[in-house]
Amino acid sequence: MALSGTLCPPLIPTRRGCSSRIKAQFVDSDPGHSFEAIREHIFGSNNASANPPPMNGFTQQASSMNGFDPEMVAAYKSLVSKFAPNRLYVHSATSSGATINIPSLLIKAYPERKIFKNLDDAGISWGIYYQNIPSTLFYKNLRKLKCLFNFRPYGLSFKKHAKEGKLPGYVVVEQRYVDTKVEPANDDHPSHDVYEGQMFVKEVYES
């Protein structure tokens, strides 16, 4: 989160107050964002019967929120107002009812129709530029042999195709989701180094 001023979400009744500070670290622990945690944020407890929801549980587990100085995350400072897709829905507009990552379902793969099928039907080219593990392989339809050549290694292909004007009509750029000794993760997700994610966004934007 980038902060440019005072920000405080609604408080639960027992809290005296909260504050926001520009003290976030580039490497931080991953906060709870399970279905249960989000429900607590929205309803303030496990009771989800309130209508409308009070939106008073955001400070349930902490009295202070840390954020980045906007200048420390410059790429998002300029881009955040333009788009913010949710990874769970961006390719198929549904999570199939899943509220958490279920390893057995990820291995089996999600069967729903994806945007890639719509693109094929419309005659629009598409490509996935991956770095280590393409998360799009969690979709069953993309594991078909006919999709093999739509997957391209990012390091060898993306900048070259961008420079030559040969990028497909629809492009997915996959981050590095896993840290290795040779290449750190750059997915901008705790507990990975946000700096790496920012440099990756900059690299793609400038390509």
Judge whether 137 lies within some domain: yes
- Give the pLDDT score at 118: 94
Instruction: Give me the tens of pLDDT residue by residue for the chain, a chain 207 residues long.
Output: 444 544 454 444 444 445 555 555 555 555 566 778 778 878 888 888 889 888 777 666 554 456 666 677 665 565 544 432 356 577 888 777 776 777 787 788 888 888 999 999 999 999 999 998 888 888 888 999 999 999 999 999 999 999 999 999 999 999 998 888 889 999 887 778 888 888 999 999 998
- Give the pLDDT score at 84: 29
Judge whether 60 lies within some domain: no
Task: Identify the domain containing residue 147 by its residue range.
Answer: 103-206
Strand pairing partners for 173? 129
Judge whether 125 lies within some domain: yes
Q: Which of 60, 66, 55 is nearest to 3 (CA)?
A: 66
- Give the pLDDT score at 178: 87
Judge whether 72 lies within some domain: no
Judge whether 188 lies within some domain: yes
- Give the pLDDT score at 40: 82
**Amino acid at the residue 100:** I
Check: CB of residue 120 under 8 Å from CB of residue 86: no
Check: CB of residue 176 under 8 Å from CB of residue 186: yes
Q: Which residues 6+ apart lie within 8 Å of 189 measured at CB?
A: 30, 177, 197
Provide the whole-model pTM: 0.65
Judge whether 44 lies within some domain: no
Judge whether 146 lies within some domain: yes
Structural domain total, the chain: 1
- Give the pLDDT score at 81: 44
Judge whether 114 lies within some domain: yes
Q: Can you tell me the distance from the alpha carbon of 10 to that of 99, in angstroms, rounded to the nearest whole number?
A: 24
